[in-house]
């Protein structure tokens, strides 16, 4: 459920008509709903209310400071993967003890930054990383709390570019090697083992891969405890999928996912962490865009939007579907026609979707691309020297620009022409 609904024939974000945001901020623009973000976060809290837990929002899915502050103030932890994301989480007021550092390529500088500023745990993904972390921590006179990310070799049944839990993926250490790696960790002076971590992929729409992976997690917890390690925390990762179509079967709910976790590891007495991103932010946002031209082609008509692949790359990158809907609803029974909905960027791949059935639209009309709150703005670029897309947050009947559209002067001002040219 989200908070983008038609009221009197106009699509609203909560109580704000999208026509108003378009008029005041311009398009293209991302629009997020406070109510949806809050609701989704609380669903995960409830799903784990049977135990000590921390819901760490995956910052990579939406890293706007206002979004992070909203979730942080609700009690969220943050799952981060870079110095930049660490800095964002801190700037949004999230304390270090609620920040988990994931990622396969942490640098010494990033480790130092997190150890200085405070960190809940590093999710270590390889032995070389663990050795380096131990050195960095020892040189600072501290120990680094870690969970080792294990790769359970489970097929997450999702898009191949976002599956992470198969042995051929770069993530984690093979689960079969885990006892050896934990033995090494215990011997390192700068490392303190606190738990185990796992994340098998994104946009999972079936709970079975989680069941398989979490059964292996439970077995490993017992084995490591028998080896003498103090496994007190289990990070179960993120990845729960969302409905991208209003008409399809909804993926499992957070409460069902929470039950899978409970069934698998609930008897181990561990604190549970999860790292959902998309499920919290995805359906909390839309990309609002205007039609620039309706162009008649041979055998097809193109709706050329002012949003493009640089603003929302998911269709071009993963052939992902986003529902595209008119902001001003047409009268019931109004004729619809198929349009190829495209952006202005000079690539054929700059196509949001082909043959979308839409009512007659023309220049200046507004459309919304739904389910764009996750992996939308964060993956945007300035390709074709298009200004980075702005973001707006709605709360009831008010809204605020939470990232402004840069001016052309600001864009030009970032480059330097050396004086010797």
Ligand X SMILES: N[C@@H](CCCC[NH3+])C(=O)O
Nearer to ligand X, 9 or 84 (CB): 84
Nearer to ligand X, 162 or 223 (CB): 162
Q: What are the two backbone dihedrals, phi and then psi, of residue 329, each rounded to the nearest 5 degrees?
A: -65, 140
Does the footprint of ligand PLP cover residue 152 (CB under 6 A)? no
Q: Is 131 annotated as a binding residue?
A: no
Nearer to ligand PLP, 120 or 199 (CB): 199
- Cα 178 to chain centroid distance, Å, stands at 28
Active-site residue (options: 187, 226, 331, 346): 346
Q: Which residues bind ligand X (CB under 6 A)?
A: 60, 162, 202-203, 314, 318, 375
Write down the residue that tokens 């507004």 correspond to.
366
List of residues 6+ apart from 54 with CB closer than 8 A? 77, 98, 120, 271, 272, 273
Residue pair 118/314 in contact (Cβ under 8 Å)? The answer is no
User: 3-state SS of the chain: helix, strand, coil percent to 5?
Assistant: 35, 25, 40
Does the footprint of ligand PLP cover residue 237 (CB under 6 A)? yes
Does the footprint of ligand PLP cover residue 310 (CB under 6 A)? no
Nearer to ligand X, 28 or 376 (CB): 376
DSSP label of 60:
G
Q: By Cβ distance, which residue is nearest to ligand PLP?
A: 277
- Cα 233 to chain centroid distance, Å, stands at 23
Task: Tell me, yes or no, if 270 is annotated catalytic.
Answer: no
Does the footprint of ligand PLP cover residue 275 (CB under 6 A)? yes
Instruction: Tell the smallest beta-carbon distance from residue 384 to ligand PLP (Å).
Output: 27
List of residues 6+ apart from 5 with CB closer than 8 A? 11, 12
Tell me which of 77, 145, 165, 239 binds ligand PLP, using CB under 6 A.
Answer: 239
Q: Is 277 annotated as a binding residue?
A: yes
Residue pair 242/284 in contact (Cβ under 8 Å)? The answer is no
Instruction: Tell the smallest beta-carbon distance from residue 202 to ligand X (Å).
Output: 4
Q: What distance in Å separates the CA atoms of residue 55 and residue 49, rounded to the nearest whole number?
A: 11
Q: Which residues bind ligand PLP (CB under 6 A)?
A: 58, 61, 79, 102, 164, 199, 202-203, 237-239, 275-279, 374
Annotated binding site: 239, 275-278, 314, 318, 347, 375
Q: Enumerate the known binding-site residues for substrate.
A: 278, 314, 318, 347, 375
């Amino acid at each position: 459920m989200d908070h983008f609904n038609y009221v009197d024939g106009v699509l609203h974000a909560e109580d704000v008509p999208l026509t108003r945001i378009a008029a005041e901020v311009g398009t293209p623009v991302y629009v997020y709903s406070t109510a949806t973000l809050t609701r989704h976060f609380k669903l995960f809290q409830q799903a784990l209310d049977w135990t000590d837990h921390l819901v760490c929002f995956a910052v990579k899915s939406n890293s706007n400071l206002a979004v992070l502050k909203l979730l942080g103030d609700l009690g969220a932890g943050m799952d981060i993967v870079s110095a930049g994301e660490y800095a964002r989480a801190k700037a949004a007021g999230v304390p270090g003890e609620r920040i988990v550092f994931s990622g396969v390529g942490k640098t010494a500088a990033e480790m130092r930054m997190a150890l200085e500023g405070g960190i809940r745990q590093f999710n270590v993904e390889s032995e070389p990383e663990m050795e380096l972390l131990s050195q960095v921590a020892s040189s600072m006179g501290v120990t680094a709390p870690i969970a080792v990310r294990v790769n359970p070799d489970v097929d997450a049944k999702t898009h191949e570019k976002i599956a992470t839990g198969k042995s051929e993926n770069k993530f984690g250490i093979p689960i079969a090697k885990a006892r050896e790696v934990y033995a090494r960790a215990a011997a390192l002076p700068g490392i303190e083992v606190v738990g185990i971590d796992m994340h098998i992929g994104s946009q999972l729409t079936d709970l079975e891969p989680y069941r398989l992976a979490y059964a292996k997690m439970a077995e490993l917890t017992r084995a490591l405890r028998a080896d003498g390690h103090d496994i007190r925390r289990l990070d179960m990762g993120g990845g729960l999928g969302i409905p991208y179509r209003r008409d399809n079967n909804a993926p499992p709910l957070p409460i069902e996912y929470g039950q899978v976790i409970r069934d698998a590891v609930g008897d181990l007495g561990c604190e549970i962490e999860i790292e959902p991103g998309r499920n919290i932010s995805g359906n909390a946002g839309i990309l609002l865009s205007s039609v620039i031209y309706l162009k008649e082609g041979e055998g097809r008509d193109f709706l050329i939007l002012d949003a493009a692949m640089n603003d929302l790359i998911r269709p071009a990158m993963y052939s992902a579907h986003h529902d595209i809907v008119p902001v001003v609803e047409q009268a019931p029974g109004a004729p619809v026609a198929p349009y190829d909905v495209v952006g202005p960027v000079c690539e054929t791949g700059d196509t949001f979707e082909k043959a979308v059935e839409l009512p007659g639209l023309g220049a200046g009309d507004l459309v919304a691309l739904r389910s764009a709150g996750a992996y939308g703005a964060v993956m945007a670029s300035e390709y074709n020297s298009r200004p980075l897309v702005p973001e707006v947050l709605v709360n009831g009947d008010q809204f605020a620009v939470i990232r402004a559209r840069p001016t052309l002067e600001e864009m030009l001002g970032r480059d330097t022409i050396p004086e010797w040219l």
